[in-house]
Amino acid sequence: MNLDNSILNQEINSKTLKASLFINMTTDDDDSRPVYISGNFNNWRTQDKEFMMEKIGNSLYHYKFSLEFDYPEELLYKFTKGDWSDVEIDKEGNRTDNRSTKVHSGIQKEHVARWRKNWLPFKQNYLPQVLLISDEFEIPQLNKTRKIWALLPHDYDNSSESYPVMYLQDAQNLFNESAEFGNWEIDKKLAVMSEYKIGKIIVIAVEHAEVDRIKEYNVGKTILGKGQGKKYIRFVTDTLKPFVDKNFRTKKEKEFTGIGGSSMGGLVSIFSGLRNPEVFGKLMIFSPSLWVVPELKINAKKANVSDSKIYLYAGGEESKNLVTEVQKFQQDLLSSKFITDENQINLSYNRKGKHTETYWSDEFPKAIEWLFFQTK
């Protein structure tokens, strides 16, 4: 596709033009997502509205730098659709090198062959080490045992680095290729994050209780009856976390410790964070079963919110009221002062999202990046 000559001539002759980047990209006709420039000039932020490109034609985008823009000696950049899961790749599906220019004026013509989809493809050598901690890990609070896994950074054994930790529920559905309803593919997503140097993290995956899953994730007396969630939360907080911190190189503080899950796993993760904000500073809550507790009470007196962050996700094609319930929960967190800075809550909404592992898989790396590795 050729650039429109009239547009080019207009930009070349413009006295206010300092530098312009044009992109000619291959994409679906109905893909209306904005395109951003991310680079060494904005700390590689992927949804920086100041560097959102203007759509000027079919699959044609334009950006013009302002006269006040402070150019680095060499401008390094990439094009994304708003996060690293939708970054540009080459026509064979491989990662591309950073684009670069030392030009500060004129026209920079670019072309994007393809966009990465759902954080794939990945490279095998970046896959995390998947370690079965125990197939009978004792849960004294419930007088049970459980399989628990650790996913360690691919180069864990060759490093002395310490890492943040995310505790996730429903391990059966996180990376198991034979899972009945699919899986989140967190191993592959972590591989891509390592490859792109977004950040490294330890994931502790706790398998659910099979037929007792709902009872174990149900906290207190709810619509579902009396649950065992309080005991389960005490297990993760008082038994599992100390074990993990003793046996792995972890960053133990709350600002480096998260807990998360989906559906009922998301609900028990909410209660884990609300009851123990001094332990879990990052909450990753996908499609939570908030209908179970219509009158969820938030005790802000327990919170230490200076570095707490909460990532909420809801799909538009899930239950009838889920989006409304999650929005209300977000407002309750703010109005109760459990979270005092609205920028510490990220509400992600997918209009076409269904209550399935596929959509939670897509959301997982976005949540991890925002919770642990994004400073602004």
How confident is the model over 241-282, as pLDDT tens digits? Answer: 999 999 999 999 999 999 999 999 999 999 999 999 999 999
Same domain, 314 and 257: yes
Same domain, 129 and 93: no
Same domain, 110 and 135: no
- For a pLDDT cut of 70, what percent of the chain falls above it? 89
* pLDDT above 60: residue 14: no
Residues 266 and 168: their CA atoms lie apart, in Å, by 9
> Of 72, 96, 115, which residue constitutes the final position of a domain?
115
**For the chain, what is the domain count?**
2
Instruction: Please tell me which residue, 247 or 10, carries the higher pLDDT value.
Output: 247
Q: What is the mean pLDDT of residues 122-149?
A: 96
- Angle at which helix 186-195 crosses helix 357-368, to 10 degrees, equals 30
* CATH code of the domain in which 105 resides: 2.60.40.10
Same domain, 25 and 149: no
> Of 55, 88, 115, which residue constitutes the final position of a domain?
115
* CATH code of the domain in which 186 resides: 3.40.50.1820
Both tokens of residue 244?
A: 């993990």
Question: pTM (2 decimals)?
Answer: 0.79
Same domain, 171 and 78: no
Same domain, 241 and 329: yes
Same domain, 72 and 171: no
3-state secondary structure of 29: coil
Provide the domain limits for residue 347.
Answer: 124-373
**Lateral strand order in the sheet of 99-101:** 36-39, 75-80, 99-101
3-state secondary structure of 257: strand
Same domain, 184 and 81: no
Same domain, 254 and 111: no
Both tokens of residue 18?
A: 């300092």
Same domain, 268 and 316: yes
> Of 97, 115, 133, which residue constitutes the final position of a domain?
115
